Structure 1
Amino acid sequence: MSMRRYLLHIGYCGSMLRGVQKQREEHEALFVSVGGLVEKGLKRLRPESIEQLYFSSRTDTGVHAVCNTAHVDLSCQGEGLCYEPSTVTNTLNRFFKKINAEIRVHKTTLVPSTFHARYDAVSRKYLYRLAVTPEPASSARAVLEQFMPVAEIGKLYLVRPPFDAERLESVCRLLEGVHDFASFANVQSKGSIPRETLREIKSITVTPGQPLLDPTLDPLYSKLQFWDVTVHGKSFLYRQVRRTVGVLVGVAQRCLNLEDVQHLLDHPSQRNWNSKATVAPPDGLFLLDVEYPPHVFAEEGDDSGQSPQE
């Protein structure tokens, strides 16, 4: 029996998926997470065994990925290479297309047995898409009904004015670098935050954004001002990016100021979260890329594994 390790580069729309992590209640007839669906697709290869999938980033329900990564060990009878990387890619994509799952494998790469998708990653880049409405609405539901273009449903966070983007430059610079981000850490299901809450944010930028469709195709686009928040770092605490966006929105709306953000950093504690800041919803969050150092692939070849024609 031979076993090889594969690295999957996976994109997905998270609106109808229950995050990356396979749910305990999932069973053979119901796979609703990215991990559960990938495992079921891999079984179509009929391997002798499938070791547990290890994702680089455990995105939540509703969060999207342009490119997330995961490694998996596949074993089969005989020696040598049992599955070409392109076979893995094509088999999975045929399966996702058949079941109408909004998941695609961009490519599959052979990696050494010592490679780990999570721990070997040197950086992750996230994009958060938001748009400002032209006028306040009476409620959050009214915001969606009055201003949300249909193509943006589940992929955009609508915020109400005022929104002063010029106030965000100093906040972004303050959050960059190494800090104890315990104040930005959300309690996980097990009821605790990580013991180690020091993280480094390499960069945060807030720039004018773009709609997903030509704005002339939907009159609602003319009523929105789009902004992109890009956050780059090695790793992040649970919901840290969404809380960071929530703080930025709070500052732009003049609910928070620079001193409030400094207080979150100077007094790192989950109990120190500012009640004036709203945690941004998952809808606008996209994992853009996971970066690895070249040397971790040195022992194996690379096969892009083209997807079948659709």
Structure 2
Amino acid sequence: MHNHARYLIFFQYIGTNYSGVVKVPPHQLFRKGVQNYLEDAIRRLRPLNPVSLTISSRTDRGVHALSNSAHFDLQRKNDKPPFPDDVLVSALNSHLRTEQIRVTRAHRVPDNFHARYHALSRTYVYRIALGVSHHTLLPLADHFCWDLSNTELDLGAMREAAGLLVGVHDFSSFRAINSDLPFKDPVRTLDVASIQPGSSFVNAHFHREIPLWELAFRGRSFLYKQVRRMTGALVAVGQGRLSVPQLKEVLEVRDSLAYPQGLVAPAHGLFLTRVDYRATDLQFSQQTSEEQSISSGHFED
């Protein structure tokens, strides 16, 4: 039907007040997921079809996103034509109101497009603040970075260790022990693991800058809590608590129980910053279903 459309939306959120990105059951009233609010906003557009949002990239409670993505189908009443992309963005944001969630852009995509499986890569950035004692950050800044009392880290050792993680590996040692998806293939390809200076906080009360470092990771997909566990291990290397050979041994053991206790980085310093797709996947045209067939396979994340 010509009034049916599939959309890919990109959206951002501050994860502090949400249970994570995926929706939670109705009986869990304490804290909802970002998906709950996005689906409520889509329902306010009064589609004919049931609302079901497919999220590309899972993030946990407290994790933020500068750009996550999802797809959904929308069929308008009374045979009305599909919403233009910019109108859809404005409408959804008006219904999100005061929530700390915003849709940044939308694309009408082919009916067989899949936000998760067609993603080429995902990029996460973890932010670390150095030389932080209690109450020295700007208000709320501690919700967006990991505050370390260390005034410096051994960046050379951290970069050497990060280099060991790049490439194709069995990342079982960096998967959460309580992972609810133990059957997933633990082999992942990490394309980038970089450590770069970020923008410094200037704390007026203490008249000094608080240096920030950003650890960036890019790959097609990641295991549950893999990024936070890699970050924690690299920080431990920078602190001298874990040597580069020890990190290599943890990786090569391929056992989540081999990961040292107490090293996992907290959620609030982590940002999902990009989900990338082929440009041709984001271009909708009136094609036959056979012509719309996209050759890329399905991948887990």
> Normalised by the shorter chain, which TM-score bucket?
0.7 to 0.9
SS of aligned partner of 2:87:
helix
| Match of residue 85 from structure 1 | 85
Aligned length, in residue pairs: 284
Q: Which of 159, 184, 204 matches 2:148?
A: 159
Per-residue Cα deviation, 1:4-49 (whole angstroms, up to 9, x for no partner)? 101111011111111111001457x877211000011111111112
Task: Indicate whether 1:280 and 2:248 are aligned.
Answer: no
**What is the correspondence of 1:190-229 to structure 2 with a 5 Å cutoff?**
190=180, 192-211=181-200, 215=202, 218-220=204-206, 222=208, 224-229=210-215
CA distance in 1, matches of 2:254, 2:51: 38
Query: Aligned-residue CA RMSD in angstroms?
Result: 2.2
Q: CA deviation at 1:299?
A: 3.4
**TM-score (norm. length: structure 1):** 0.85
Aligned to 1:230: 216
Kept in 2: contact 1:126–1:289 (CA 8 A): yes
Residues 94/188 of structure 1: CA separation in 2 closer, same or farther (3 Å cut): farther
- 1:50/1:75 contact within 8 Å kept: no
Cα distance in 2, alignment partners of residues 290 and 279 from structure 1: 24
Q: Displacement of 1:77 after TM fit?
A: 3.5
Contact 1:26 1:32 in 2 (8 A): no
What secondary structure is seen at the aligned counterpart in 2 of 1:57? coil
1:108-143 per-residue CA deviation (whole Å, 9 max, x = no partner) reads 110001100000001011111001116xxxxxxxx4
- 1:132 is matched with 130
Which position in structure 2 is the counterpart of 1:137? none
Task: Provide the rounded CA distance (Å) in 2 between the counterparts of 1:49 and 1:218.
Answer: 53
Residue 251 in 1 paired to residue 237 in 2? yes
SS at match of 1:295: helix
Question: Structure 1: any 5+ residue segments left out of the alignment?
Answer: 135-142, 302-310
1:205–1:230 CA contact under 8 A, matched in 2: yes
Look up the match of 1:271. Answer: 257
Counterpart in 2 of 1:20?
Answer: 21
Distance in 2 of aligned mates of 1:101 and 1:187: 32
- Give the aligned residue type for 2:169: H
Contact residue 242 and residue 282 of structure 1 kept, 8 A: yes
Correspondence for 1:107: 105
Deviation of the 1:172 alpha carbon? 1.3
1:173 equivalent to 2:134? Answer no
Aligned equivalents of 2:90 and 2:80: distance in 1? 20
Offset, 1:155? 0.4
